[in-house]
Amino acid sequence: MKNHTKKYFERLYGEGQGARRPAIGGKALATDLGYPRQVVEAVPGALWEDFLPCGDVFPYVRPRDGDRVLNLGSGAGVDSLALRLAGGFRGGIVNADIVFSVLEKASRTVRQAFPGLRFDWICADGEELPFAPGAFRWVIVNGVLSLCPDKEKLASGLGRVLEEGGILAGADLCRKGPLPDYFREEPDAWAWCMTGALSRAELESLFHTAGFRGLEWISEPMDEFFDRVVFVYRKR
């Protein structure tokens, strides 16, 4: 399933060739979710084309300039731009994604549109994070957890790369109950953060077992099957 999801996003980011795009995304979704106005107005259209978040984590990520931030599953890097443009953060930010093409396009677009802003761009698998223990104070995972088949390995890796007391801020879909069979029969539903979604109880158990303590949980109904959630955890 990981290979199918990766290929889905490779097709989607490759000018949408052969991939069905979710009904809403990009600038319209950012506006709907409440992203800062200055970010919505400043980000180039080429980045909005590849922006498919599950929620707005910006209000819950408050790094100081000496901190380091990992934006895992960064895609176009809009959450990282929000930290620079609206948050004024000047510390190190690593944008990491499993799909090389989106990183190549985003890094080129950001350099052209914002030549004074520096980011690191790394192609990496969330289940095999290539970072030293305690490398980051903050980790963002926006629409990542539901895409990952081995969620225990992902959660353990996030705990490893966070320093003690570090903060994990994420957004995703949570299922309200058992899903109908057609979600399992539709392979692209994994790429839409649906088939791989956890329930709230499962998500809380996952991060508790991995050594995190819950700080915030914000939920809003999306449809009859899913809630859209933002969650914040601290590494114990």
Q: Where are the domains of the chain?
A: 2-235
Question: Which DSSP string corresponds to 57-75?
Answer: -GGG----TT-EEEEET-T
List the structure tokens of 166.
Answer: 């570090």
Closest by alpha carbon to 84, among 104, 100, 69?
A: 69
| pLDDT for position 30 | 94
In whole angstroms, give the CA distance from residue 14 to residue 9. 8
pLDDT(15) > 80? no
- Domain spanning 2-235: CATH superfamily: Vaccinia Virus protein VP39 (3.40.50.150)
Name which residue leads in pLDDT, 10 or 88.
Answer: 88
**Amino acid 3: pLDDT:** 77
Is the model's pLDDT at 71 over the cut of 80? yes
Task: Tell me: pLDDT of 13 over 80.
Answer: no
Query: Is the Cβ–Cβ distance between 82 and 114 less than 8 Å?
Result: no
Assign 186 a pLDDT band (cuts: 50, 70, 90).
confident
Q: Work out whether the CA dihedral 7, 97, 128, 190 comes out positive or negative.
A: negative
Amino acid 35: pLDDT? 95
Task: Give the mean model confidence (pLDDT) for residues 110-133.
Answer: 96
What pLDDT, on the 0 to 100 scale, is given for residue 89?
97
pTM of the predicted model, to two decimals? 0.94
* pLDDT for residue 115: 95
Q: Is the pLDDT of residue 19 over 70?
A: no
Taking phi first (over 0 means left), then psi (-120 to 50 degrees means alpha), and beta for anything else, what does residue 43 get?
A: beta
